[in-house]
Structure 1
């Protein structure tokens, strides 16, 4: 049995990426502990659970439950069920504080993602977590990062100034995925159109410059080390269409990249396969 630590922000993390990863790892016999900024229980992005807040009429009391866009973009049934189970887990309800976590006390690290700036920026910008990530990579212990979790890894730099991902191959949330979700938010969430953009471009910066893919790529030894689904890959349309998500028995929609003891994935639709590959390393 391996001991695994999963840092989370105080709020707004993706429920599927955290809960499915937890469920898969525990089912494989591993022990998962959690850490938050101050040791208080974390809460996922509620919009990704109920879908309320992604349609133009979401602020109207009666109409807010009509959620054509929200139901499309929220976590699917399996992700919501996994999160409901996670909320009852004693370790999730009594996390450690970020600064109390030591890499030597754990065998593996999981970095879930999430996009809502309100909660995720503190997680992505935390010097405490960045030092923790460096410690796990320096010890060559298994690390799994999915979606914006890869951005936290990319920002974690050793003493020489290079990212721990420098010289590694990785994937992450792609600009195509981020742009497509943001376009829907511009239609439905007009009062907060950048809900899907944790970081947005400043005047003079090209479109996509602050996307997850762009920033992660800038941290790599070469742009070719960022791996998206190549044309001609079996099930490429299923992997890139944005509608199909993997399941415990169907990995065809997933895209996972492994480089040594490091495993990365793009979005909640990869979560089962991502966690299973990390569990293989922990085994």
Structure 2
């Protein structure tokens, strides 16, 4: 069984439901966990409110919203565990979606969520994170080393100059800091947790949004049992590669 950590609200519907759909199609059982053990719903702006004329650029794609609609109707979604009740030993892998609205902080700033993530790394189990979800891992310190669990690994996450900052600039007039979860960019904080700046892999200069029909347009970074991606536009490839990791007969750190 695979654990998906969700915040209390405001996560990205694509980054959560596309991997969920891929796992369901592969016959892989999924359990959700939220801070208080209550069903947690995605960022309403990304589900229904939208961005007006900027929808073609920023809004969740219809096919991915369909996956989200199916996910929130599932029994597992409606009966999540509380973070405090999670026993990592009962799960075979961990997936952490992202999102940038304020509700994400209930995941990204949770000491309990960091403890859960640490146990998966200690047990050398598969872990996948996308966008802001990688921040939780950057903030998860291994007490044996004093470093982040990402130290010594190659990763990717939401890019600053081509993703996070441009989205903030074009929406700031009416949405304020909606696209700035923290003062520091995701890329800057994640990079600071690595052993070398070059371990943060940015991918192609021009990011292309993938789809179920063209997952190869997405970009991911795999380092052993760790899989990371940058944004919703990577999530079909991210989901396919995650399922491949989970299906592998021998899960050993490469």
Q: Could you say which TM-score interval applies, normalised by the shorter chain?
A: over 0.9
Task: Summarize the alignment of residues 59-78 of structure 1 with structure 2, pairs less than 5 Å apart.
Answer: 67-78=52-63
Aligned to 2:112, which of 122, 128, 140? 128
Alpha-carbon shift at residue 252 of structure 1 (Å) = 3.2
Task: Summarize the alignment of residues 1-283 of structure 1 with structure 2, pairs less than 5 Å apart.
Answer: 3-52=1-50, 54=51, 67-117=52-102, 119-159=103-143, 160-176=145-161, 177-187=163-173, 189=174, 192-200=175-183, 210-230=184-204, 237=206, 240=207, 244-283=208-247
Alpha-carbon shift at residue 102 of structure 1 (Å) = 1.3
The separation in 1 between residues aligned to 2:216 and 2:2, in whole angstroms, is: 27
Q: Is 1:51–1:73's contact at 8 Å kept on the other side of the alignment?
A: no
* Misfit runs of 4+, over 4 Å: none
Q: Is 2:209–2:217's contact at 8 Å kept on the other side of the alignment?
A: yes
Give the structure-2-normalised TM-score. 0.93
Alpha-carbon shift at residue 51 of structure 1 (Å) = 3.5
The separation in 1 between residues aligned to 2:57 and 2:196, in whole angstroms, is: 35
Alpha-carbon shift at residue 82 of structure 1 (Å) = 0.7
Alignment length (residue pairs): 245
Q: Is 2:46–2:59's contact at 8 Å kept on the other side of the alignment?
A: yes
Q: Is 1:69–1:184's contact at 8 Å kept on the other side of the alignment?
A: no
Q: Is 1:51–1:71's contact at 8 Å kept on the other side of the alignment?
A: no
Alpha-carbon shift at residue 181 of structure 1 (Å) = 0.7
The separation in 2 between residues aligned to 1:90 and 1:251, in whole angstroms, is: 28
Q: Is 2:19–2:236's contact at 8 Å kept on the other side of the alignment?
A: yes
Q: Which runs of no fewer than 5 residues in structure 2 stay unpaired?
A: 248-254
Deviations 1:19-64 (A, max 9, x none): 1110011111111110011111001000001244x4xxxxxxxxxx
Deviations 1:129-170 (A, max 9, x none): 101111101111000000000001110001132100000000
- The alignment partner of 1:121 has SS state of helix
Deviations 1:239-275 (A, max 9, x none): x2xxx42112312321100000000000001111111
The separation in 2 between residues aligned to 1:161 and 1:253, in whole angstroms, is: 37
The separation in 1 between residues aligned to 2:240 and 2:170, in whole angstroms, is: 31
Q: Which runs of no fewer than 5 residues in structure 1 stay unpaired?
A: 55-66, 201-209, 231-235
Give the structure-1-normalised TM-score. 0.84
Larger Rg: 1
